Structure 1
Amino acid sequence: MWQPDRLSKQPLYQQIADHLERRISFGEFPPSSLLPSERKLAEKLGVNRSTIVLAYAELRSLGVIESHSGSGTRVSKHKWGLTPRHTPNWHRYVEGGHFLPNLPFLRRIREALEQNRSLIDFASGELGADISPVAEINQLMSQDYYTEYLGYDNPQGFLPLRKSLVTYLDTYRNIPTTESSILITSGSQQSLYLITQCLLAPGDAVAIEDPSYYYSLPMFQSAGIRLFRLPVDRQGINPEDVRTLYKKHRIKMVFINPNHQNPSGVVLSPERQVELLNVSSELGLPIVEDDPFSLTTYNGIPTPPLKSIDTFGSVLYIGSMSKIAASGLRVGWMVAPRSVIERLADARQQMDYGLSVVPQRVAAQFLNSPLFEPHLERLRMRIQSKRDLLVTSLRKELGDMVSFDIPEGGLHLWCRIKPEVNESRLLEECIRRGVIYVPGSVYGSDSDYVRFTFARAREEDIVPGIAKFADALNTVLNDKI
C-alpha cells in the first residue's frame, strides 16, 4: 500500500494529492466515484486529518474532485467526462526546472513587506525615496526627448549611455575604457547571471567572499557552480587564500565586492588589491569586481577599484545606478574585453532583445547633467546621517549585547549578536513588532549575525525601529531562560 514519504521535501498533503490525481487519471477512481472520507483516509495513511483536508482542497482547486454536504467527496464527472482530460499539474512543473527559488528567509522577508507596507525596513538593499534623486529624474523625464523611433536597440545597450559611461568611469572610477567594451544590463544581477551562464559551466568552482551577498544568489547553484569561500577580515580577503583554493579546487573565477562589501562594509586594502591582481595574473584567473557602493564613501574619496589598477586585463568590472540613484531605473553595466562583451551581448539579445531605451536615456542624461554631482554630495551626507542614527540607537538599546565595525561607506551595518539566539524566532518576533532586517545566515554566516540596511528607512523611523528590534531580541532571549 502506498504511503507518503516523510523524508521528502515535498509537503505530505501535496504527495497525497499527486498520488490521488494519478489514480484518478489511471481510472482507478472513475468519474462520480466516491472517495474515502477525510478521517478514513487519514487513518489509512497515518497522517493528520488536516493533511487530507489540504490534499482534497488542492484537488478541488484543480477541478478533479467535488465535495457536497451529505454526499461526500467524489471524482468530478464534468471534468473527466467519458474521456478523462487533464489540467497540468503545475506543482510538478514549479518544483521542476533547474533555476532554484530564493532562500526561505528572503522569501519570508519579501512576503512580510508585501503584506505590511508599514514595516520599518532594514532589509531592502536600496535607497529610500527621501534620498533618491526623484526631483532630478522627474525634471529630466519631463523634457521632450522621445522624438526617436523606440525600436530594438543595439544589444550592447544605448550608445549615448555607453558614451556617457566612458566619461563617468574615467572621471569617478579612474577606469579608462571605450563604448565597445561596455555592456548595459538591467542591474548588477543580470551581469552576474550572464557571466554564470556564458563564461562558466556546470561543475566549475568559483571563489566568493565569506560572508557574501553572492551566497544569497541561487543563480550559482542553479547553474551547477560550486562555491568556495574566502574569509573576510578588516582588510578584506587574503589573496593567499585565492591561491590555496586554486591549488585545492581549481577554481575558475573569483567574485568579490571589494569596496564597502555587502554585508560586512569592509574595504579591500590597497596592499591586498595589488597582491590579489598579482595572484590573479600568475594563475590566469579572472576576477569579477562588483562595485555598487564606492561613490557612497562618506568622505567623498572612494578607494580606487581593482579595475583602475588592472594592467593584466584580469578584471570584469560591474557597476549600477541602483545604489547611487534609483534601483527602479534597472540600469547597470559591465566593463570587459571586447570578445567577452560581444559574447554576453549575444546571449542577452536572445533573452530580451535588449533593454528599454527610455531608462537608458534618462540615466545618460542624469550622468551628463549638472544635477549628478550635487546629488552625490547630498546622498553621502544623508546616508552617513542615517548610519550615525543607527549606530547610536544600537549602542543605546543593546549596549554590549551587540558588536559591529562602523562602516565608512555603503548602505549596510553588519552586526553580531553576542548571546546565542534562534534567528527564525527573532525574525518573526521583529516582524510582529513592525520591523524587518536580513538574518546573517542568508550570507553564509552563523545565526548570530544580522544585516541592517540604513538607506531605505526614513530617519525618523530608525530609532523606533531599533527599539522594536531590541524588544524582540530580549523577548526571544528571555523565553530561553
Structure 2
Amino acid sequence: MWKPDRSSDQTLYHQIADEMERRISYGEFPPGSQLPSERKLAEQLGVNRSTVIQAYEELRALGIIESRTGSGTRVSKFKWGATPKHTPNWHRYVEGGHFLPNLPYLRRIREVLQKDPTLIDFASGELNSELSPNEEISTLMKEKKFKEYLGYDNPQGYMPLREELVSYLSRYRNIQTTDSSILITSGSQQSLYLITQCLLAPGDAVAIEDPSYIYSLPMFQSAGLRLFRLPVDEKGIRPEDIRALYKKNRIKMIFVNPNFQNPTGTLLDQERRMELLGIATELGLPIVEDDPFSLTAYDGVPPMPLKSYDQLGSVLYIGSFSKIAASGLRVGWMVAPHSVVERLADARQQMDFGLSVVPQRIAAHFLASDYFQPHLEQLRMRLQYKRDSLIDALQKELPGQVTFTIPQGGLHLWCKVIPQVNDNKLFEEAIRRGVVIAPGSVYGSDSGYVRFTFARTKEEEIAPGIAKFAEALRTVLS
C-alpha cells in the first residue's frame, strides 16, 4: 500500500491529498462512493489523524469530496458527473517544474520586509535612495529628450550603451574590449542564469567560493549543476585547490567574486590572482568573474579585475549598476568572446526580446555625464561612514562576542558570533526585535555567521539596529 514519503520536502498532508485525488481520478473511488474515515486512513498510512483531516480539507476546498454529519466523507457526484469540470491542482504544478524556489530564509526576509517597512534592514544587498543618483538621473532625463523608436532593440543591447561601456571599462577597469563583445543584461543574476543555462549542462561540475552568495541562488541547482567548494580565507581562494577539484571531479567552470567578495568582503591576493589565471589557462577552464563592488573601494583606488590581466579570453566578466548606482535600473553587462555573446543574446531574445531601451539609455547618459565620477566619490565616502558606524555599534553592544575583518570596500560586513548560537532562533528573535539580518548559512557557511549589509540601512538606524540585534542574541543565549 502507498505510504507518504517523510523525507520529501512536500508536506505529508499534501502528499496524501495528491494521492487520494489520483485514486479518485482513476476511478478507484467512483463519484458518490464512501472514503475511509479520517481515523482509519490515518492508521493505514501511519500518520496522525490531524494530517488526514488537513488532506481532506484540501480536497474539500477543490470540490473533489464532500462531508455530511452522519454520512462520512464521499467523492463528490457534482465534481465527477458526466461532464466533469476539474479545477487544476495548482499545488501540484507549483511544486513541480525544475526551477527551484528561493531559499526559505530569503522568502522569509522578503515577506517580513513587505509586511513591515519599519523593520531595520541589514539583509538586503542594495543601495538605499540616499546613495543612489536620483537627482542626477532626473536632470539627465529632462535634458536628454527621448526621441528613439520604442520597438524591439538589438538582442545584444542598446548600441549607445555598449559603446559607452567600452570607454567605461577601459577607463575604470583597464579592460580593453569592443561593443560586439558586450552583452547587456538585466543585472548580474541574469548574466549568471544565461551562463548556467546555455554554456553548461545538467551534471556538469563547477567550482564556487565558500562561503559565496551563489549558495543563495537556487538557479545553479535548478540547472542540475554539481557545486564544489573553494574555501575563502583572508586572502581569498587558494588557486591550488582548483587542481584537486579538476582531477577528482572534472570541473568545467570557475565562479569567483575576487574584489570585496560577497559575503566576506575579502580581496583576492594579487599573487593568487595570477596563479588562478595560470591554472585556469593550463587546464582550459573558463572563469566567470562577478565584479559588482570594485568601484566602492573606500580609498578611491579600485582593485583591478582578473579580466584586465586576461590575455587569452579565459574570463567572462560580469558587471552591474546595481551596487554603484541603482538596482532599479536593472542594467548589467557581460564581456565575453563574440561567439558566447551571440549565443547568450539569442537565448535572452527567446526570453524577453531584449531589455527596455529606456533604462539602457539612462545608464548610457549617466556614464557619459559629468555626474558619474562625483557620484562615485560621494558613494565611497558614505559607505565608509556607514561601515564605521556599524563597527562602532558592534564593538559597543557586543564586546568580545563577535569577530570580523574590516572590509576596504563593498556593502557587507561578515561577522562571526563567538558563542554557539542557532541561526534560525537568532534570525526570528531579531525580527521580533525589529531588525532583519542575513544568516551566514544562506551563503553556505556554518551556523553562527551573519552578513550585515549597511548600504540599505539609513545612517541613523545603524546603531539602534545593532542594539536590537544584541538584545536578540542575548535572549537566544539566555
Q: Would the TM-score normalized by the shorter structure come out above 0.5?
A: yes
The letter of the residue matching 2:24 is: I
Deviations 1:34-93 (Å, cap 9, x if unpaired)? 545545544554433432332223223323234567766443333322243432222222
Distance 1:176 1:243 in 2: 29
The answer for the alignment partner of 1:206 in structure 2 is 206
Distance in 1 separating the partners of 2:147 and 2:225: 45
Q: Which residue of 1 aligns with 2:9?
A: 9
Is the contact made by 2:122 and 2:438 (CA closer than 8 Å) also made in structure 1? Answer: yes
Structure 1 SS opposite 2:108: helix
Identity of aligned residues (%): 74
On the 8 A contact 1:17/1:55 being kept in 2, the answer is: yes
**Conserved? CA contact 2:201–2:225, under 8 Å:** yes
| Cα shift readout 1:12-40 (whole Å, capped 9, x = no counterpart) | 11012112212322334443455455455
Secondary structure of the residue aligned to 1:208 is strand
Equivalent position of 2:357 in the other structure:
357
Q: Which residue of 2 aligns with 1:82?
A: 82
Alpha carbons of structure 1 residues 400 and 29: separation in structure 2 relative to 1, 3 Å: same
CA distance in 1, matches of 2:248, 2:6: 38
Q: Indicate the residue corresponding to 1:325 in structure 2.
A: 325
8 A contact 1:25–1:84 mirrored in 2: no
Instruction: Name the counterpart of 1:445.
Output: 445
Counterpart check, 1:456 vs 2:456: yes
C-alpha separation in 2, matches of 1:26 and 1:204 = 39
Once the two structures are superposed, the pairs formed by residues 288-299 of structure 1 within 5 Å of their partners are 288-299=288-299
3-12 vs 396-405, which moves further? 3-12
Secondary structure of the corresponding residue to residue 387 of structure 1: helix
1:147 maps to 147
Query: Alpha carbon RMSD of aligned pairs, Å?
Result: 1.8
Match of 1:182 in 2: 182
Q: Does 1:406 find its partner at 2:406?
A: yes
* Cα distance in 2, alignment partners of residues 97 and 70 from structure 1: 41
Residue 377 of structure 1 is matched in structure 2 by: 377
Tell me how far apart the structure 2 counterparts of residues 80 and 143 of structure 1 sit (CA, whole Å).
65
**CA drift at 1:412:** 0.3
Letter in 2 for 1:117: P
Alignment partner of 2:78: what SS? helix
What CA distance in whole angstroms lies between the structure 1 residues aligned with 2:289 and 2:282? 18
Aligned partners of 2:171 and 2:113: how far apart in 1? 38
What does 1:125-274 correspond to in 2, within 5 Å? 125-143=125-143, 145-274=145-274
Query: Given the alignment of the two structures, is residue 122 of structure 1 paired with residue 122 of structure 2, yes or no?
Result: yes
Describe the SS at the equivalent of 2:164.
Answer: helix
- Paired residue type of 1:294: S
- Supply the AA of the counterpart residue of 1:346: D
In 1, Cα distance between the equivalents of 2:66 and 2:24? 13
1:206-244: CA deviation from partner (whole Å, max 9, x where unpaired)? 111111111222111111211111111111111211222
CA shift, 1:261, in A, is: 0.2
Q: Which amino acid aligns with 1:190?
A: Q
Unaligned stretches of 5+ residues in structure 2: none
One-letter code of the match for 2:331?
V
1:397-436 correspondence to structure 2 within 5 Å: 397-436=397-436
Relative to the length of structure 1, the TM-score reads 0.95
Helix, strand or coil: the match of 2:79? Answer: helix
1:20-59 matches, within 5 Å, as 20-36=20-36, 38=38, 41-42=41-42, 45-59=45-59
Amino acid at match of 2:351: M
* Contact 2:78–2:84 (Cα < 8 Å) also in 1: no
Aligned counterpart, 2:103: 103
Is the CA contact (8 Å cut-off) linking 1:209 and 1:237 kept in structure 2? yes
TM-score for the superposition, normalised by structure 2? 0.95
8 A contact 1:196–1:223 mirrored in 2:
yes
Aligned pair count reads: 478
Q: Secondary structure at the match of 1:325?
A: coil
Distance change in 2, residues 1:327/1:81 (3 Å): same
**Cα separation, partners in 2 of 1:69 and 1:122, compared to 1, 3 Å:** farther
The SS at the match of 1:207 is: strand
2:277 corresponds to: 277
Does structure 2 conserve the Cα–Cα contact (< 8 Å) formed by 1:211 and 1:444?
Answer: yes
More off after superposition, 210-219 vs 240-249: 240-249
Unaligned runs of 5+ in 1: none
Residue 251 of structure 1 and its aligned partner are, at CA, apart by: 1.4
Give the secondary structure class of the aligned counterpart of 2:273.
helix
Which segment drifts farther, 241-250 or 323-332? 241-250
Deviation at 1:332, TM superposition (A): 0.3
| Contact residue 210 and residue 229 of structure 1 kept, 8 A | yes
> Closer, same or farther in 2 for the Cα pair 1:69/1:126, shift >3 Å?
farther
Q: Matches of residues 308-323 of structure 1 in structure 2 within 5 Å?
A: 308-323=308-323
State the 1:176 CA deviation.
1.2
**Residue 376 of structure 1, CA deviation:** 0.9
1:369 Cα deviation after fit:
1.2
Q: Is the 8 A contact 1:156 1:345 kept in 2?
A: yes
Counterpart of 1:7 in 2: which secondary structure?
coil
Residue 112 of structure 2 is matched in structure 1 by 112
How many angstroms apart in 1 are the aligned matches of 2:70 and 2:141?
63
Q: Report if aligned partners of 1:433, 1:472 keep a CA contact under 8 Å in 2.
A: yes
Give me the whole-angstrom Cα distance separating, in 2, the residues matched to 1:72 and 1:137: 66
